[in-house]
Structure 1
Amino acid sequence: MISITEWQKIGVGTTGFGIFFILFGILLYFDSVLLAFGNKHKLKGTSFFLGGVVIVLLRWPLLGMCLETYGFLSLFRGFLPVAFGFLGTAFNIPFLNALFQRLQGTSSMV
């Protein structure tokens, strides 16, 4: 019989959890109700991002990456100021704190 070390048991357990959550995420991603709620008002950003992926696959990487970047910024426009504000308060590094406060701006999600 093959003996399994403790590290191998931890690795198998972690891999099992990872596979489970990936499959669960894929299952939730293709739920039509969640897709309708999540992307109804972000159709422009989603189409630019997925169009950029298609353009990259068609061997136009520079144009595709530009489209993907625009789509990404369009999708996460409301979230980025919140993320920069959190990073500015989470880390007490003077240069980064000033940079994140500048990037945060005055826009809010409300």
Structure 2
Amino acid sequence: MVFFFDKGLLGMGNILFFSGVTLTIGFKSSLQFFMKRQNFKGSISFGVGFFFLLIGWPIVGMILEAYGFIVLFSGFWPTLAVFLQKIPIMGWVLQQPYIRSVCSVC
């Protein structure tokens, strides 16, 4: 738990996240994704959160990064929900009435 808010480890995680996205979809596509007009709010929030991590404010940085991550990848949540419904046991659980009432995307 002590290392959870370590700025060095969090910084390395962010660098690995960006490099993973870049290696997965390519440099040009990742640059276009982060620079889209509709993704500016998420990109700026993620960048400011990374800055706060580097200057030593990990809690504020993680909150801003989490918000930026949710805003950036909000278009993928419906796709993820469809994918999870196709997994044998997980799909059955997600299709239960009490789960469907909580999760409107599923």
| TM-score (norm. length: structure 1) | 0.56
Kindly indicate which of the two structures has a greater share of residues assigned to helix. Answer: 2
Q: Which runs of 5+ in 2 are unaligned?
A: 1-19
Question: Within 2, Cα distance between the matches of 1:46 and 1:70?
Answer: 10
Q: RCO greater where, 1 or 2, for CA within 8 Å and sep 6 or more?
A: 2
Q: CA deviation at 1:97?
A: 4.7
Pair 1:90–1:101, CA change in 2 (3 A):
farther
Choose which of 43, 46, 53 in structure 2 pairs with 1:46: 43
Q: CA deviation at 1:70?
A: 0.4
Aligned position for 1:70: 67
Question: Within 2, Cα distance between the matches of 1:91 and 1:97?
Answer: 11
Question: Within 2, Cα distance between the matches of 1:34 and 1:105?
Answer: 26
Choose which of 62, 81, 85 in structure 1 pairs with 2:82: 85
Q: CA deviation at 1:95?
A: 2.9
Greater CA drift, 85-94 or 57-66: 85-94
Q: CA RMSD in A?
A: 3.0
Q: CA deviation at 1:34?
A: 6.0
State the secondary structure of the residue aligned to 2:74: coil
Q: How many residues of Structure 1 are paired with residues of Structure 2 in the alignment? A: 80
After superposition, the C-alpha distances for 1:81-109 in whole angstroms (9 at most, x for unaligned) are: 21022112223343355448953617xxx
State the secondary structure of the residue aligned to 2:89: coil
Q: Please tell me whether residue 105 in structure 1 is matched to residue 67 in structure 2.
A: no
Question: Within 2, Cα distance between the matches of 1:73 and 1:43?
Answer: 13
- Tell me which amino acid in the other structure corresponds to 2:88: F
Contact 1:46 1:71 in 2 (8 A): yes
